[in-house]
Amino acid sequence: MLIRAATAKTNAPRRYDHIKAAPIAGTMGAEITGVDLRKLGDAAFSEIEQALADHLAIFILDQDLSVEELEAFTQRFGAFGADPFIEGMKDHPHVLHVRKEANEMAPVVFGGLWHSDWSFLEKPPAYTILHAKEIPPYGGDTLYANGYLAYESLSDEMKRVLCSLTALHSAERGYGAQMQNIYAFLENMSVKTGGDASTRVQEHPLVRTHPVTKRKTLYVNPVYTVGIKGMHPEEAAPILAFLNDHMTHENFTCRFRWSPGAVAMWDNRCCLHLPISDYLGFRREMYRTTVEGERPYLES
Ligand code: OGA
Ligand code: MN
């Protein structure tokens, strides 16, 4: 039987000298305290990198970063990632202002389906950083799912088959021209849909090797993975449906309850995320950056 379960050591914390890490679930995710990102020494920075590799998503609590400080923190990890379809802030093109006002009656939120950020790019972002300024009094949590565990729990034969497959990714479902009326609801975000960028197909290995941890992880998601190379759509659809359901099984997930000042940082290479749309009537305001990743690859 296919068993989907984390073990006690799956998300165990290390002892650190400069930060404190408290896991929020058995599967993945840890809250980080005892650090001020505005004055972060190299040793503390390395510990943050280690925590990210261990926990896949980290939530650094009680920060108060200006847009410039968020940019500076982001750039310590590498170059900014590209943000197709969404317009950045004036004078800060790499920062997205993710917000929804209390009087917006939209039934949708930005990114409201399980996904890995911009997986349709040739070099999808390694990390996304989201800094909460204002959050609803309740609701607006974000869920995450662990792609390593999803891969590791499969049978050896299934792993072997999946490692031979190339997945097709495209922005079409999320940002195709047909989505314009949906985004018209997001009054405070400027989203441009359609065009060649939305229909372009990008190939990535369906299982990828994480460049830091060297572990293998599933790399598919229900929004941007649109097919499997060489297969008819009718053949690929049930395989992808199984993998999406499998990877987002509750046992592989954690749920982050935001607090103002939290800086969430997740690794798009090995986890999916899902913002919950349940805060109509409340304001939620975040600043967001990404760090460019490498081209996904699978090491045999
Ligand atoms: C994102 C995203 C999650 C959230 O910024 O990429 O999916 O909780 N947002 O707003
Ligand atoms: Mn996202």
Q: Which domains, from first to last, does the chain contain?
A: 20-292 (3.60.130.10)
Pocket test for ligand 1, best of 70, 85, 95, 98 (most atoms within 8 A of CB): 98
Does residue 125's CB lie within 6 angstroms of at least one atom of ligand 1? Answer: no
pLDDT of the residue at 150:
98
Give whole-number Cα distances, 172 to 88, 95, 120, 203, in Å. Answer: 21, 23, 9, 14
Whose C-alpha lies nearest to ligand 1, atom 10? Answer: 275
Ion ligand 2, residues whose Cβ is below 5 A away:
111, 117
* Residue showing tokens 């800094």: 131
pLDDT tens, the chain, 300 aa long = 999 999 889 999 999 999 999 999 999 999 999 999 999 999 999 999 999 999 999 999 999 999 999 999 999 999 999 999 999 999 999 999 999 999 998 878 888 899 999 999 999 999 999 999 999 999 999 999 999 999 999 999 999 999 999 999 999 999 998 888 888 778 888 888 999 999 999 999 999 999 999 999 999 999 999 999 999 999 999 999 999 999 999 999 999 999 999 999 999 999 999 999 999 999 999 999 999 999 999 998
d(CA 85, CA 205): 24
pLDDT of the residue at 30:
98
pTM for the predicted model, two decimal places: 0.97
pLDDT of the residue at 252:
98
